[in-house]
Chain A
């Protein structure tokens, strides 16, 4: 079974621009979570989507948003990029997510975003 895939793998943007990252979960998984990883802060939870609805949200500004499609694929968008948004953005999928039981999250390889 194929794992979580993320595209693109690398991105370079300039301050003020916006960016969209894509995530395809493991087949059959309906929950998708997004995380930001930086050397200083480590891995931080952004948000979780299940059945096209945002179910949980971390402590990030409104410039960070996401959505999920009917096939469970997800996108996250960052508007008005800042230098501090440079990070590895990781997507994780699980069967049902936080709704019932404790569900293992499986991570993709990440998208490395560099903001100049």
Chain B
């Protein structure tokens, strides 16, 4: 069974204080790892897709990296508007071909204080 564990569950940072969020996963065959951001009362907003170990992607203050067992979301000099819940999800190859639905972690609730 595919599993995704995110840590920490919650993180409070001062504005400008950089940090990293962790996503550990076990999957039979990784097709892709996804990062989403979710604001209260809204649906998840897509951030990144990573496909293979060693891959990195960046967008503004965010950088996502991937190894064979985990992914990190690095946040550099965050601002209050970066406050949100960050969700990690994996998609595995389907036994009958194609891919399974996304398996999500419980998320990291990030608060950036001004």
Contacts and interface: CB of A to CB of B under 8 A. Distances in A.
Given A106-B46, A107-B43, A45 B101 contact: yes
Interface in A49-67: 55-56, 58
Nearest to A47: B101
A105 B105 contact: no
B17 interface: no
B28 to A, nearest CB: 14
A35 B34 CA distance: 15
Nearest to A48: B101
- Residue of B44, B51, B103 with most chain A CB atoms under a 10 A cut-off: B44
Interface string A18-29: 000000000000
Interface residues of A, number: 27
Contacts of A47: 101
Given A33-B101, A42-B106, A58-B101, A104 B49 contact: yes
Interface string B26-67: 000001101010000111111001010000000000000000
Chain A binding surface, main DSSP class? strand
Contacts of B103: 45
A47 B101 CA distance: 7
A97 B31 CA distance: 12
27 contacts: A33-B101, A35-B101, A42-B104, A42-B105, A42-B106, A42-B107, A43-B44, A43-B87, A45-B101, A45-B102, A45-B103, A47-B101, A48-B101, A56-B98, A92-B43, A98-B98, A98-B100, A102-B49, A102-B51, A102-B91, A102-B99, A105-B46, A107-B43, A107-B44, A107-B45, A107-B46, A109-B42
Interface of B: 31-32, 34, 36, 41-46, 49, 51, 87, 89, 91, 94, 98-107
Given A35-B101, A43-B44, A109-B43, 20 more contacts: A35-B102, A35-B104, A43-B102, A44-B104, A45-B100, A46-B101, A47-B101, A48-B101, A56-B98, A92-B43, A97-B98, A98-B91, A98-B94, A98-B98, A100-B98, A104-B34, A105-B102, A106-B46, A107-B36, A107-B45
